[in-house]
Amino acid sequence: MDHLRIEKLNKSFFETLPHRQIAVLVDGNTHRFCYPLLQNFLPKHKIISISSGEEHKNLQTSTQIWQALTDFQFDRKSLLINLGGGVIGDMGGFCAATYKRGIDFIHIPTTLLAQVDASIGGKLAIDFKHLKNHIGVFQNPVNVLIDTDFLKTLPFEELRSGFAEMIKHALIADAAEWENIKKIDIRNADWTQIVSRSIEVKKKVVDQDPHEKGLRKILNFGHTIGHAVESFYLENTDLKRKLRHGEAIAIGMICESQIAKEKGFLSEAELLDIQGFILSLYPRQFIAPSEIEIIVSYTSQDKKNWGKTINGSLLKRIGEANYDIALSEKDMKDSLWHYKSLVD
């Protein structure tokens, strides 16, 4: 993936772009905080501004983006620059990949989560009636520009959320990095090096299996239960305990590590190592006993049929993972009870 550049944004890169027409996709936040860092490096361009937040990653907002490209009379040789986090990259990429059957696009990820995860690997999508990433394509951007200066615009909680994916990358494929990760102080990190190493893990995996036929599934470690936890708190907004993605994945990694231990993959010492570090960094989420069954039901797309076994990815040991491991409803419930026992 020679299209990936980890460097300070600079004028010379943008001067060489061959595109006739350029637009930058932003949301309110990246328009205000990130666009000023990019603006002066760009040739003449348009701006497309959309509402921020996962709840806008849908067909309605995509229609706005397609309409803007149409109104600007963009032809097939135009370029869309996606300046923002995962929502901007996923949706802007999808709209670009489908506008006139595909125009070029560049990702400039501005969150830690997007820099180490969402911008790498060509997954593009929007949500469809509350199903996450249900409509989309695989398509690589012509470039991903990673400038860790953008991370200075982020609050601690947002950095910590993205950091969960870096923990995941170390746990599934890089035991040495796991030792490094544990020493990082998020508030004072020198991000360029550690972001590079984390991306390296994801790149290796997706280069081997770009369309997620097999190996790429190991990147779902922590996400089977993590997504269910995230969806539960998203849809039950009256609970007023909306979790960030990484906070949910942190819970998912603890739960799925406990399952891996129960299945004899991880040692007790490894489980303690993992959950000790995660609990030292992430909020301890109270889960009511009555909520456990409901959360497990969110692991299945079809909530009517959720009693079925589903497949997940589990650690074999720290630094290595397996995919397509059957997880029963009981495995998952027990693991949430285990998490609950740690935080209560």
315 contributes a contact to a copy of itself by CB under 8 A: no
DSSP annotation of 344 reads -
129 contributes a contact to a copy of itself by CB under 8 A: yes
Q: Which residues contact 315 (CB under 8 A, 6 or more apart)?
A: 171, 172, 221, 256, 257, 260, 265, 266, 270, 321, 322
Of the candidate residues 136, 141, 162, 246, the single one contacting a copy of itself (CB under 8 A): 136
SS3 152: helix
CA gap 229, 343 in Å, rounded:
15
CA gap 321, 288 in Å, rounded:
30
Q: Which stretch binds a copy of itself (CB under 8 A): 61-69, 228-236, 262-270, 288-296?
A: 61-69
240 contributes a contact to a copy of itself by CB under 8 A: no
User: Judged by CB, which is closer to a copy of itself: 129, or 240?
Assistant: 129
Of the candidate residues 19, 57, 123, 340, the single one contacting a copy of itself (CB under 8 A): 123
138 contributes a contact to a copy of itself by CB under 8 A: yes
97 contributes a contact to a copy of itself by CB under 8 A: yes
Q: How far apart are the first and last CA of the chain?
A: 45
Q: Respond yes or no: is residue 220 known to be catalytic.
A: yes
SS3 120: coil
215 contributes a contact to a copy of itself by CB under 8 A: no
Say which amino acid occupies 327. Answer: L
Least separation in angstroms between CB 176 and a copy of itself:
32
> Which of 101, 102, 182, 191 is closest to 154 using CA atoms?
191
Least separation in angstroms between CB 109 and a copy of itself:
19
CA gap 159, 186 in Å, rounded:
7
132 contributes a contact to a copy of itself by CB under 8 A: no
102 contributes a contact to a copy of itself by CB under 8 A: yes
Q: Respond yes or no: is residue 123 known to be catalytic.
A: yes
Helix (H) or strand (E) holding 324: strand 320-327
> Which of 308, 301, 338 is closest to 326 using CA atoms?
308
Q: Which of 160, 165, 230, 340 is catalytic?
A: 165
Least separation in angstroms between CB 120 and a copy of itself:
15
Which residues of this chain interact with a copy of itself, rule CB under 8 A?
59, 63, 66-67, 70, 73, 97-102, 123-125, 128-129, 131, 133-138, 211, 301-302, 305
List residues with catalytic annotation. 101, 123, 165, 202, 212, 216, 220, 223, 227, 245
